[in-house]
Amino acid sequence: MNIMIVGCGKVGQALAEQLNEDGNNITVIDSNAALVADVSARLDVMGCVGNGATHTIQEEAGIRKADLLIAVTGSDELNLLCCLIAKKSGNCRTIARVKNPAYSSETNYFKDELGLAMVINPEHAAATEIARVLRFPSAIRIDTFAHGRVELFKYKIPEGSRLSGMAVKDVVAKLGCDVLVCTVERGDEPYIANGNFVFAEKDVISVIASPRNASEFFKAIGYRNRAVKDVLVAGGGETAQYLCSILRRSGISLKIIERDPKRCVELCEKYPEVQIIQGDASDQALLLEEGIRTTDAFVALTGMDEENILLSLFAKSEGASKVVTKIHRIAFDDVIKHLDLDSTIYPKNITADLILRYVRAMGNSEGSKMETLYSIIQGEVEAAEYTIGEDSPVTDIPLMAMKKKPDILIAAIIRGGKVLIPRGSDIIKAGDSVVVVTRAKAIDDIADILL
């Protein structure tokens, strides 16, 4: 597939890398010549220097042969203009990143009237993910499938846990709950879980289950999932605003610390039920005064990664029950994951996952349709949901007899609204939704899991 990416920032580079690895032909466009040269050389993709919102530059980059244009510059308006010009010049599909809360109610209009295939809002997506982990604070991360009927959650095994020393194959029998362990991260090594794998303290495991069975799992391992009632937020930017909108009807009390007086006034006017504190969130005395020791959750949403990390570490040291950290840059992910943080949110990765899912779906055959895609271990393991068509080659075969590629796990089957955690004798039927966890790349269609 021929794909043009306008904007070589963090999101643009992450997209170029992942889509290029999937075998697509990538052309990046940016007005920064040095940045284009670096990205095109490092990723071995085509580059074009100039304003991607002009017809001339798009023509030079090959818009007439493009199947898809993705506009992810730092300007919402520029992204929309890029897409409009691309629709006129090349009649290709278009995706725009639009993050300003002022445009949040215009998404359907952009898609229906301007002809955009997708409108991506990384800040809203990040707020949605934060809200999920606040509702289930025992998990590091929660991804949902089948409209919330299935959840894949990550959990770090603490010292003294009942899970430590237990084999994967014994989880259901010993805990008495219907769940499936999908992956294990031990240090820097990721694994697709097999029955003989034995858990150890500090392992990060991902488990798939229905929401009810997920609750039963945590009860069985002695973890009391106490609902979050109050949240202290550092930073009143776009993500914080979306978080206010999502949580405002949930009964959760929010308190936001923001240093910009003008933004504080705007937040007070827009969210009168939220307590807004004008001050510097890096002031430890202020954090203590505002209750960081007693708050159920602390969320670091400032514009600086370093500040978010330090604030989160301070919050944990002072006893905050749940800590969520927003990270903009992904270059130091290997270092960050070794820090004692709870949940880390990467808007750039969330955006890349959403766009990657759409691109993969464009390449689907008639055998299945990709509904959802998550990178559950970045760059290593993916989880995808497919709706199975009538002609799919995976139907009516017992899973134990299915000849699958290595490191592929059928994690869940949703049939008639009911969740089935599959065992070897189960079969997949046309019309099912199926969740697949895999280390393989470019599984566009469920047929790709077969040898």
Three-state SS for 278-340 is ECCCCCHHHHHHCCCCCCCEEEECCCCHHHHHHHHHHHHHCCCCEEEEECCCCCCHHHHCCCC
pLDDT of residue 440: 67
Q: Given strand 368-377, what is the order of strands in its sheet?
A: 368-377, 381-388, 433-438, 408-415, 418-420
Q: What is the pTM of this model?
A: 0.86
Pairing of strands 322-326, 297-300: parallel
Choosing from 314, 345, 376, the residue where a domain stops is 345
Residue 241 shares a structural domain with residue 336: yes
Q: Which of 71, 105, 120 is the last residue of a domain?
A: 120
C-alpha distance across the termini of the chain, in Å: 24
Q: Are residues 320 and 378 in the same domain?
A: no
Query: Is residue 350, in this structure, part of any structural domain at all?
Result: no
Q: Can you tell me which residue has the tokens 């992956």?
A: 183
Domain shared by 336 and 252, yes or no: yes
As a whole number of angstroms, the distance between CA 180 and CA 185 comes to 15
**pLDDT for the residue numbered 238:** 92
Q: Which residue type is seen at 164?
A: S
Closest by CA to 420, choosing from 169, 145, 219, 183, is 145
Q: Positive or negative, the Cα torsion across 340, 336, 436, 148?
A: positive
427, 369: one domain: yes
Chain mean position to CA 272: 30
Indicate if 318 and 377 belong to the same structural domain.
Answer: no
Residue pointed to by tokens 């749940």: 322
- According to DSSP, residue 172 is labeled H
Q: What is the CATH number of the domain that holds 439?
A: 3.30.70.1450
Distance CA 376, CA 184 (A): 11
pLDDT at 335: 76
Residue 342 DSSP symbol? S
Instruction: Answer for the pair 446, 408: CB distance below 8 angstroms, yes or no.
Output: no
What's the CATH number where 278 sits? Answer: 3.40.50.720
Which stretches of the chain score pLDDT less than 50?
A: none
**Position 356 in a domain:** no
If asked whether residues 207 and 234 sit together in one domain, one would say: no
For strand 93-97 and strand 118-120, is the pairing parallel, antiparallel, or unpaired? parallel
C-alpha to C-alpha distances, 284 to 125, 234, 235, 288, 391, nearest whole angstrom: 29, 12, 15, 6, 61
d(CA 350, CA 133): 15
Q: What is the dihedral of CA 123, 126, 130, 136, to 10 degrees?
A: 150
Number of structural domains in the chain: 4
Phi, psi of 180 (to 5 degrees): -135, 125
Q: Same domain for 170 and 195? A: yes
What's the one-letter identity of residue 383? Answer: A
C-alpha–C-alpha distance, residues 184 and 186, integer Å:
6
Packing angle of the helix pair 347-362, 10-21 (nearest 10 deg) = 40
In a domain, 352, yes or no: no
Q: Using CA atoms, how far apart are residues 271 and 400, in angstroms rounded to an integer?
A: 54
Quick check: is 178 in a domain? Answer: yes
Structural domain includes residue 33: yes
Please check whether residues 368 and 333 belong to one and the same domain: no
Q: Has residue 353 been placed in a domain?
A: no
- CA dihedral in degrees (391, 150, 350, 262; nearest 10)? 140
Residues 239 and 260 in one domain: yes
Q: Same domain, yes or no, for 341 and 374?
A: no
355 in any annotated domain: no
Q: HSE on the CB side for 283, CA within 13 Å?
A: 11
Judgement on whether residues 110 and 134 belong to the same structural domain of the protein: no
Which domain does 158 fall in, by range?
127-220
Residues 8 and 111 in one domain: yes
How far is residue 178's CA from residue 278's CA, in Å, rounded to a whole number? 47
